[in-house]
Amino acid sequence: MKLTKPDLSKLKPKNIHIKKFKIKKKFIVLGVIVLIIIGFVAKTFLIPKDIIISNYTTLAKSQIVNSIDATGNVESEKVTNIYSKVEGNIKQVNVKVGDTVKAGDVLAVIDSEKLERQIKEETESIQQDDQSSSLDLQSKKRVYENTLYKEQNDMNSEVNTAKSTLNEKKVALEEAQSNYEYNKELFNYGEVSEQVFKKSETDFNAAKMAYDEAVIGLENAKTDAKDKLQTAKEDYESAQIKANDNTKKSALKDKQEDLKNCQIRATVSGTITGVNAKEGEAAQGTLFVIENLNDVYIEVPIKEVDILDVKAGQRVEIRTDAMEDEELVDGEVVSVTDTAEKEISTSESNSSSNSSSTNSTFKAKIKLKNPDNKIKIGMNARVKIVVEESNNIYTVPFDCIVDGEKGQSIYVLEPAEKDRYIVREVPVTTGMESDVNIEISGDKIKDNLIVVNDPTSYPVGTEVKLGDPMMNQGGEAVEG
């Protein structure tokens, strides 16, 4: 009997082949997952990653400006207050704030009707006085000159009469004396009687008395003549004084000057910045304010800590709220006060006791070089006093500087293959500093050189790629 080979496939249990296939498929999927994980780990941890640098500076020429900021009001260098020199009510006002005036322009007029009437009356009175004084002066002059002429030429009648009388009395005295002496001698010899002698003696005494009286009369006549001459001289001099008396004329001149001053004029050229004069009101106090808008300055406070840095001649940048952001007006420090203004502030402590502190503030005067119509008197200005500046230079942040044994240097990015760079060290010389940047120079320093801002993180020789920059442009103006 021939045995047949059994069909083993028919002996397999049902569905056995399907289960085996599913197990095999799971192992395949698991293997793929493992391979993916291994690839990711290898890429992540075993394959080197690119070093991306974003903190760098691209060099360009710039400037460093160290300055001191302050604020102050714009004021005119020349401020002129206009007052009235006379009293009275204002009749007319000719200007308003903002008007431009020249020296001599009439700003206002004061009512002068009463003053004009007084001037007319006093002028007429002075004319009458002048005429009367002139006639009186001529009369007194003639009297004095005649009296003086008579005195100088012995033509005074009273004196001449007294002289003639004296001569007559002298002759009579001489005759009476001779007769007396003769009779006296005769009487001594008994040649004449006592009666005759006594009569000659009486006649002699009478003649002597008459002569003495004539002497006194002549002296009196001379004295009277001198007195008359002196009186005539004094009268003439008084007439001269009266004729030359300018008291009334001076008073009239003052009133005429007041009349001129009834026109209130500008004493300087400039712009009217204040008008206090009002028609119908008294002309008192400051009536007008004239300022030169082309010659303005700003006075700003300077703290004690900054005062040694501020000097005359330093450049100043001036801005106001009315200007655009980039606009400015140039100025210059013209003076700095030598003494400080001290401000004492008092504060209360928790222990109910007061404490005080003193703040010293100096003043700097700043002259505007070319003020324009954007700078107005009274504006609040922000000023930047440039105490130090350096232009057309290269600057980098302080952190870029590497201090080494051979000096200072910076790390730069040197182009390599494709978009990659190599960190290289470049020696530099440092200069002026601001609050954040420092000036650098050197043989290899040039435009567009890429400088590493954080050299401690990137050793020399490191290969890097540029990322989105945190600060990719050097050379902006830096102010300290």
Query: Which helix (H) or strand (E) covers residue 424, if one does?
Result: strand 420-427
Which range, of 45-59, 133-147, 214-228, averages the lowest pLDDT? 45-59
DSSP for residue 153: T
Per cent of the chain over pLDDT 70 is 86
Over the stretch 90-103, which tens digit does the pLDDT of each residue have?
999 999 998 999 99
Angle, CA of 385, 386 and 387, to the nearest 5°: 105
For tokens 């289960």, name the residue: 19
Spatial CA neighbour of 278 closest among 98, 97, 92: 92
The pLDDT score that the predictor gives to residue 92 is: 95
The pLDDT score that the predictor gives to residue 475 is: 44
Asked if the model's pLDDT at residue 18 lies above 50, the reply is no
The pLDDT score that the predictor gives to residue 341 is: 82
C-alpha distances in angstroms, 410 versus 59, 158, 248, 442, 452?
12, 128, 94, 11, 7
The pLDDT score that the predictor gives to residue 217 is: 93
45: left (phi over 0), alpha (psi -120 to 50) or beta: alpha
The full length of the chain comes to 480
How many angstroms separate the CA atoms of 150 and 222, rounded? 12
Over the stretch 356-402, which tens digit does the pLDDT of each residue have?
666 778 999 999 887 777 788 888 999 999 998 889 999 999 999 99
Spatial CA neighbour of 297 closest among 205, 365, 215, 391: 365
- Confidence band for 8, pLDDT divided at 50, 70 and 90: very low
- Confidence band for 227, pLDDT divided at 50, 70 and 90: very high
- Confidence band for 347, pLDDT divided at 50, 70 and 90: low
Which range, of 129-143, 284-298, 457-471, averages the lowest pLDDT? 457-471
Rounded to an integer, what is the distance from CA 141 to the centroid of its chain?
A: 62
Rg for the chain, CA atoms, rounded: 61
Q: Which residue has the higher pLDDT, 295 or 37?
A: 295
Over the stretch 415-469, which tens digit does the pLDDT of each residue have?
988 889 999 999 999 999 988 899 999 999 999 999 999 999 899 999 999 887 7
The pLDDT score that the predictor gives to residue 77 is: 84
Dihedrals φ, ψ of 143, to 5°? -60, -45
Averaged pLDDT, 66-85: 92
The pLDDT score that the predictor gives to residue 354 is: 62
- Confidence band for 145, pLDDT divided at 50, 70 and 90: very high
| Dihedral angle over CA of 308, 435, 442, 415, nearest 10 | -170
Over the stretch 318-342, which tens digit does the pLDDT of each residue have?
998 888 877 888 999 999 999 988 7
* Per-residue tokens: 253: 């001149």
How many angstroms separate the CA atoms of 376 and 77, rounded? 13
Average confidence score pLDDT of the chain? 86
For tokens 């001379």, name the residue: 222
Which range, of 148-152, 207-211, 348-352, 466-470, averages the lowest pLDDT? 348-352
Asked if the model's pLDDT at residue 21 lies above 60, the reply is no
The pLDDT score that the predictor gives to residue 199 is: 94
The pLDDT score that the predictor gives to residue 22 is: 56
The pLDDT score that the predictor gives to residue 346 is: 60
What pTM was estimated for this model as a whole?
Answer: 0.54
Asked if the model's pLDDT at residue 292 lies above 80, the reply is yes
The pLDDT score that the predictor gives to residue 342 is: 75
Collapsed DSSP state (helix, strand, coil) of residue 200 = helix
How many angstroms separate the CA atoms of 375 and 77, rounded? 14
The pLDDT score that the predictor gives to residue 344 is: 63
- Confidence band for 353, pLDDT divided at 50, 70 and 90: low
Averaged pLDDT, 163-167: 94
